[in-house]
Structure formats: C-alpha cells, structure tokens
Amino acid sequence: MDDKNAHILSLIDKFERGLATDEDMQELETWFQSFEDHPNITDKLTTAQQQKAKATLFHRINNTIEAPSTDEQLPPSHPNKLVSLWVKVMVAASVLIISTLGTYLLVNRSFKEEQVIATITADFAPGGNKAILTLADGRQITLNHVQNGELASQGNTIIRKATDGTVSYEQHGNEKHGIRNTLSTPRGGQYRLVLTDGTKVYLNAASSINYPTAFTEIVREVEITGEVYFEVAHDARKPFRVKTGKQMVEVLGTHFNVNAYPKMGLVKTTLLEGSVAVTTAGKTKILKPGQQAIGTGTAIAVSEVDVAEVMAWKDGFFDFTDADMHTVMMEFSRWYDLDIVFEGSQTKETFTGRIPRSWSFTKVMKIMETFKSSHLTLEGRRVMIRQ
C-alpha cells in the first residue's frame, strides 16, 4: 500500500469515528472532489485496499442515498460541516460497486432521474425476530407475539423465552425418551435458540430446525432447512449431527454454518472453528476452519471462502462479491418477504457491496440502481425484473 492510499484510508476511518480534525475534513473534501476529475482514481487501490474501503464505508454509513435528516445520528464532531461531507462519503461508497468489467460505477451526486431503474411505489420494512415453535403435540406458539418467561413444559423440560427473544430449553431431571419440536422462521424472520445441551442455534429467514427436547440417544441429531448457524456445545460422548435433504454434518463441538435452501439445489457447509465431517452420497470430506463444502447430492467440493462474507447475515448485513442479479434478489426476497419474477435473459452484470439488513426495501433498491440493464417494478409484494 503506498503512503497516499494508506493516508486516505486512515482519514476515512477517523471521519467515521468522529475524530477527524478540520484539516482532515478539508483533505477528504478535496479527495472526494477528485472523483469527478479522475474517474479511474480507484484503479490506484489494490484489491485488499478496495475490500477494506468497502467494508469500512458500508459497515458504518447509516444512509447511502439521502443526506441524514435532523433526527438521524451523525458522527459527533464538526456538526456544521458534516452534512455536505457525509453526502460525499456516500458518493464515494458508490465507487465500491463493481461491474463485471472491473470498473467502478460512479453514482452522480445529484442522483439523476435517468439513473433510476426501479419503479417503487411502496416500501417494506426489513425482517426481524419472528418464528413459530411447534410442540410435539402439534400446538404452535408464535414467538414474536408471546410474553417473555416460561412458554411450555414437556416432560422434565421447560421452554423459556428470554428478554432478548432467545428461546431456550432447560432440562430438570432425566428423560427416557426425547420428543421433538420444530422452530421455523418465515420469510422476513430470524431467531435464536438454545438446546438442552447448551448448543446455540441461529436461524436465518425461511429456515427451520427439528430437534429433540432432550438428547437421550448416543447421537445428538437435528434436521434443518434453509440457513442455520451452530455453536455446538462440546460432548465427546455424543457427536452432534445435522441432517439436510442432501447431506449429513457431524461434529463434537464447533462453530459452523449450513445453507440448505431447497431452491438452491445444493448444500453449503462453512466451518468457522473446530472440525466437521460432511457426508454426501457416501462421500465424506473433513473441513478445516475457513473452508466450505458444497454438496450436490452426488458429490462434494471443498474450497477456501471469506467466512465474514458467509456469516454477514448473522451480523446484520448482506455481503456480496461479484454476485449476479438472481443471487442478490433471492437474498432480498427472503428477508423482505417478497416474490421475485425475472423476465428476459439474465444480465451478466455483478454486484459487490455490504448492505445493512436494517435498511428498508426502498433504500436497498436505490443501491441496486447500479444494475443498468435491469428495470424493477413492484406490484404488491411481487418484484418484476425485466432484463
């Protein structure tokens, strides 16, 4: 990294944390102004610098399109100068949206009308903590509509909802036979669960997990659909198994993520800590931290991945690197509870960016204006994409 680029990145970091001096802000002002005079300025940044800038800007900027209103939080220093520079920071963030040609799509500071590709007449709130708990007797509890505290008891196991919404199972005495419950999230939902052995489970939108209320067998076994992250409590006597329709994952105690949405046609297992064995059609692969296994039902491929990108959903972000329109819109479909309909041939454009899942759908769609060859129209909860 040359000294100039390192210096600019450090100024951006200081600005975000509210530590920039008047001189720092003037230098940033001049640097952002240079985008108009030198459109290829980002060519001077290495790939690593581009990724750092992307993560830095998209992680902390609360509004990407419109200048903040008076009731929105801004960095604490220099209140009289911030709004102008804040808008320029947003414009600079748009530089980090990469086209398939490797060039940067710069969004004009005035956000001209002809750049708008979406006809959006309504807005939809982002998803949140929503789930349904189905007990062994068929009773269903809508978790986002019930009070905190004890929800139900099954045998010697009590189910509780904590103040942060987490559902946990507490075993009081031995169980001869474990009965099974199911926790499921709708589109636009996510939820946290703690099993009786202390294993922590995080469900993404449109996902489910079927599990015993007490682990009475020699193997702790659960079954999932959708995307689920596990922090498995260690128990050398009882391996922990995760079943999907296409594969089995077995561990003793570790952290890993399984993405098994049915429409994908494959299962992605990503290891964060420890070790897991992934089995598909009699073939087994052992993963190391930072590796991902992709199972198709007949074969398994293992590769190194960016774990932070895979786990962005759990940390409250969408994170894309060279993602096509279909991949991006399927993520939005699950989180904003929308139906996506594609018309025409698929665009070859790709998108790279980090977007907070707390943003409204309209704000997200303004980011998607970078797909120049697509036009989006909203009809009810259906998004029509003409390519």
Check if the beta carbon of residue 381 is closer than 8 Å to that of residue 339: yes
Give 115's DSSP letter. Answer: G
pLDDT at 68: 39
Q: Which residues pair with 180 in a beta bridge?
A: 212
- The single-letter DSSP state of residue 70 is T
- Domains of the chain, with CATH numbers? 3-99 (no CATH), 119-125+320-386 (3.55.50.30)
SS (H, E, C) 6-53: HHHHHHHHHHHCCCCCHHHHHHHHHHHHHHHHCCCHHHHCCHHHHHHH
How many Cα atoms are found within 13 Å in the side-chain-facing hemisphere of 34?
Answer: 10
pLDDT value of position 253: 85
Under 8 Å CB-to-CB from 243, ≥6 apart: which residues? 221, 222, 223, 224
Residue-level pLDDT at 10: 74
107, 170, 251, 265, 282 from 297: Cα distances, Å: 43, 36, 20, 9, 10
Residues in the chain: 387
Cα–Cα–Cα angle for 110, 116, 119, nearest 5°? 135
pLDDT at 311 (0 to 100): 96
For 131, the 3-state DSSP assignment is coil
How far is the C-alpha of 184 from the C-alpha of 92, rounded, in Å?
A: 40
What string of pLDDT tens digits covers the 387 residues of the chain? 456 666 776 777 666 556 667 777 777 767 765 644 444 444 444 554 454 444 444 444 433 333 333 333 333 434 434 444 444 444 444 443 332 222 232 232 223 333 334 444 456 889 999 999 999 999 999 999 999 999 999 988 999 999 999 999 998 877 777 799 999 999 999 999 999 999 999 999 999 999 999 998 999 999 999 999 999 999 999 999 999 988 999 998 899 999 999 888 899 999 999 999 999 988 999 999 999 999 988 899 999 999 999 999 999 999 999 898 889 999 999 999 999 998 887 777 888 888 899 999 888 887 776 666 777 788 888 888 887
The sign of the torsion formed by the CA atoms of 187, 259, 246, 140 equals negative
Query: Which pTM does this prediction carry?
Result: 0.71
Q: Are 246 and 267 in contact (CB under 8 A)?
A: yes
